[in-house]
Amino acid sequence: MSNGTQSVDRAAELVTLVVRAEGPISFTQLVEQTGLARSTASRLLQALERNGILERNHEGLFRGGALFAHYANRFDRVESLAAAAQPMLERIAEETDETVNLGVPSGDTVVHAAQIDSNFILGATNWIDVEVPPHCSALGKVLYAFDALRLPKGRLEARTASSVTDPAVLETQLEDIRREGYAVTRGEVEDGLDALAAPVRDPRGRVIAAIGVSGPSFRLESAHRKVGELLVDETDRLTRILTRRAHKEATG
């Protein structure tokens, strides 16, 4: 085992002990339970503290750090958002009979947080846990357009002959999305698959998610404007709900 791998294993053991402990745990307890030399344990714990993985309370005891809190808070926010969006997703699905998704930004990509399947036998796939280059998807383009995702640099990946690979062309499309209020893609991630999406905003007006519809081009291409306007109406509705909820929480 290399020294690097050994250090990672030891650090992981320390994190595991802290996270699984019933309460904050002391340096001495960690040394005793791991069998590490005090100097080794101290060095690893300092590195874990610097990176926000662990922290010490006012008594000097170790507990999970800010990184764990950030992850848990983000997960809770996504769950809460998905629950609030469910009625809108259902209305859009009822109006279109197509696959409807709620997408949220995560790092440099889009995570599908909720989906309602198409009523058609021939419909879009289950997008949960499927990674799609954001520049090829309507959800991703909306998040790019409103600065919820960082724009990619350099030449873009081509999934189909219709995929946008030139950053300058993508920039022009994003301007159109900001003007129209919704995005449209035509066969960019898969031939014959169209998609549309519109932004969801938080109470401060920042785009935090997008709701999209996807389905075969032969069903959607003649209804782009109708579906786009429907998406804008429903995402605006969700934004208002989130704003009222935040105001209610703030005023107690």
Within 13 Å and on the Cβ side, how many CA atoms surround 155?
3
pLDDT for the residue numbered 98:
94
CATH number for the 74-251 domain, one of 3.30.450.40, 3.40.630.30, 3.20.20.70, 3.40.190.10?
A: 3.30.450.40
Distance, CA of 156 to CA of 164 (rounded, Å)? 7
The owner of tokens 């999970």 is 64
pLDDT for the residue numbered 69:
65
Strand partners, 55: 63
Residue by residue, pLDDT tens for the chain (252 residues) are 456 688 899 999 999 999 888 889 999 999 999 999 999 999 999 999 999 889 998 889 998 887 776 665 555 688 889 999 999 999 999 999 999 999 999 888 998 989 999 887 665 566 666 678 999 999 999 999 999 999 988 889 999 999 999 999 999 999 999 999 999 999 999 999 999 999 999 988 999 999 999 999 999 999 999 999 999 999 999 999 999 888 777 776
pLDDT for the residue numbered 14:
93
DSSP 156-177: PPPSSTTS---HHHHHHHHHHH
Angle at 194 between CA 114 and CA 234, to 5 degrees: 45
pTM (two decimals): 0.71
pLDDT for the residue numbered 70:
62
Domain residues of the chain, as ranges?
3-64, 74-251
| Residues 234, 236, 241, 246, CA torsion sign | positive
Using DSSP's 3-state secondary structure scheme, residue 156 falls into coil
How far lies 104's CA from each of 12, 78, 101, 175, 234, in Å?
29, 8, 10, 20, 16
Task: With beta carbons less than 8 A apart as the criterion, state whether 211 and 85 touch.
Answer: yes
- CATH code for residues 3-64: 1.10.10.10
Task: With beta carbons less than 8 A apart as the criterion, state whether 83 and 241 touch.
Answer: no
